[in-house]
Structure 1
Amino acid sequence: MPRIDRISALHDDLLLNILSLVPTKDAVTTMVLSKRWGSVWTMVPKLEYEDTSKEGGTSVWRLVDKYLLLHKAPVLESFHIQAKRQFTDNADVGKCVSYAVDHNVRELSFIIIPPLIFPIQPEFLLLPSNFYTSKTLVNLTLSCSALVVDVPSQACLPLLQTLVLLKVVFKDESSHVRLLANCPALSNLRVNRNSCDNVKIFIVKVPSLKSFTYMQLDFMPLVLDSPGLRHLSIYDHEDLGSIQNMPHLDTAYVSHLVSQPNDKFLRSFSSVRNLHLRLMNVACCSAATFSRLMKFKLHFVGPANPELITGCSEFCSLEPLMIFLHNSPILKELTISYGVYNYWEDLPLSWNQQSSVPGCLSSHLEIFVWERFGGIRIQERECVEYILANSKRLKTATVLPLCYYNLEKKEEMVEDIKSMYRISPASQLITHSDSANPGRPTT
């Protein structure tokens, strides 16, 4: 029975939709399926190239150069290039980006991952001049440690909404400022700093910005003044710099792993509703009042070197947490996670009985979680017992013991937790996190 070419009967629009779902290299190889595929793929509005070839394979840049000569679509919705091997020269980059901009690209992703050993690449790469005046670009991702962002004075990206800058280099201290200033519609920004990116102080003053993610590991301060922010994530191991008040902030994640944090930075988060702090020292938690805060997680990360904590009792203090609860009157969810090491069990834990009960415990707290509960130090137990005994509206309390290496000791801790008095009679107590052997909630 002769084979029937059912593909040829499909409408061109349907074929284009199908080809848009696969990488361009795969779309081109489908030409063997039918004569119609040979010309249809050239009209696909989405181009995607990824270099996964091994040593000696065809370079992604040769494929791109070949396919761009055959491509006929008048408009590009998206253009994505990810190369895991070295690029050849600056012309490769300029040709690809210029082509995308000239075809009214809306989404551009340019990711170069250099070899880990003896990378062969030019000293720097420059984007073509027409890139900085694209009138159609909406989403942009640039990831390349050799890419120099040189923003001209006449730059303007009027429709750009999402910008991702990973390990890029800026021509000078003001290049990133000019770039952000000429993106009037920018609402989502992600920056992963390059330690040699030519910028000492990274300044973000974008009135339209709604979401911002910032990561840096070296001493490179951040100046943030975007009052419209609603979502903020900061990964910082040195200096948070200057963060202005953010009155509309809904969620914030802050990882600030320094032994002596400056408590001023938390005052900028006073209006946040959902806050997750990852700290090495919790002393700064008592620095501000959080009138709108409803959900809070404190992830306490102790130093890996025990010599760093000798004589530093403030690392292990629970008193700032109690002050924090006093300063968060409508808190509904509280999670405490202790990512500490075994030798911390021998350190004293500062805890004093509170003279007055925080208002959030009396009237609002509904969910309480204590992860990695040690239970060995009496102060830690007293803190958990205090929260259970004073949280009148508590619905769920989850206390997860840390003693995974000693099942007998763990069971003793579970029984001790169950014996704690809970003022909320309807609350459920959960003491197991293993889904294979879940603990039955007790009331």
Structure 2
Amino acid sequence: MHDIKSIRDNPQAFDAGLARRGLKPLSGSLLAIDERRRAAILASEQAQARRNAASKEIGDAKKAKDEARAAKLMAEVAELKTTMPELEAAARAADEELTKELSAIPNIPFDEVPDGVDEHGNVQHHVFGNKRSYSFAPKLHDDLGTALGYMDFEAAAKLSGARFVVLKKGLARLERAIGQFMLDLHTTEHGYTEINPPLLVRNEVMFGTGQLPKFEDDQFWAIKGELLASPDHERLKTERLGLIPTAEVSLTNLARESILDEKQLPMRLTALTPCFRAEAGAAGRDTRGMIRQHQFTKVELVSITTPETSKDELERMLSCAEQVLQKLDLHYRVMTLCAGDMGFSSQKTYDIEVWMPGQGDGGMFREISSCSVCGDFQARRMDARSRGPDGKPRFVHTLNGSGTAVGRALIAVMETYQQEDGSIAVPSVLQPYMGGLKVVARE
């Protein structure tokens, strides 16, 4: 969330940042609400101060036996008692209106972020490895999985509908091996602390990382009911919980409503969890195979840092995610996203795109990880702060990244390591997690 004081101090810079996101200027309307809010707060505070002063003056008037003045002051206090709730309500309403407007505005990109309106404006940062050559035409992962008998979309559709999959035998184990390998790498070599977080979270937690209010339709929701009994009747108390679209939501919010000691920072957290996305904004995209699923597994990386170190932490996080693909010997490229293609909460984002030889006509790069720095944007929504040597609390900076998407890593491994007979060679770093198995083949 944006700081209204910062907007007030430099509205031109704020509007310029929004323009890079493809949005119209908003500082004027925001500052008008803010002016109304500040006026309402001032009126409420002045009324409270006058009531306190008048109450004291009543006592003084009575001591002086000035009953006329005391009566006049008592009438004034009575009138203030009537008007004060209205003034407080006006201040509260203006504050809520400002919060609502601010909460729907995306973060401002760094100056170094390239201009652009969509993925076509993204800029290649660097490339790792080379495309593999095959003596046969590489197949899509779903063709490979179906031929093996270990990837079943029809069975999943009977259970849950479209955009779900049932993995079996060697592929189920291979996906588990990939997730465990990633988790072990990040915890033993990269210094991340493993967390097993809740998969269902409250509205305010979704708000904290920016899923609400703008992306409500992209989430899956569960209703928790509790039957309350009273002497006269029973009623059902309900609470809505969201299924996490990424462990970023749970991990980042571990710092919510806290004041951390800056000696604890950077706080680096990782989790391997199922993730759930309604994909409301992706109708008709990637309907085939496992590329875009309602349920998938991902290893998430989250860092909580000081403002001074967050930019360097982004580069470190990117390196940690890259090492996953390097150890799997997968060809990939890193893209710096343009301002118009970044996520809602991001100030700067790197996408890692892995080469999938079975995709498209002759293969293509597909996103497997996004690493983003959010500044204090999420921290303001969560009220997550730290206390430095001067003892003053300030908002932390947050970062998140995929380290990486397990399902897409499975696809990349299947398509990259496929053999002419349709079997899948197991990368050497995964073989210990597969009980020494070197090839996933049809039984």
TM-score bracket relative to the smaller structure? under 0.3
Per the normalisation by structure 2, the TM-score is 0.19
- The structure whose residues are more often helix, as a share, is 2
Per the normalisation by structure 1, the TM-score is 0.19
Q: Which has the higher contact order (CA 8 A, sep 6+)?
A: 2
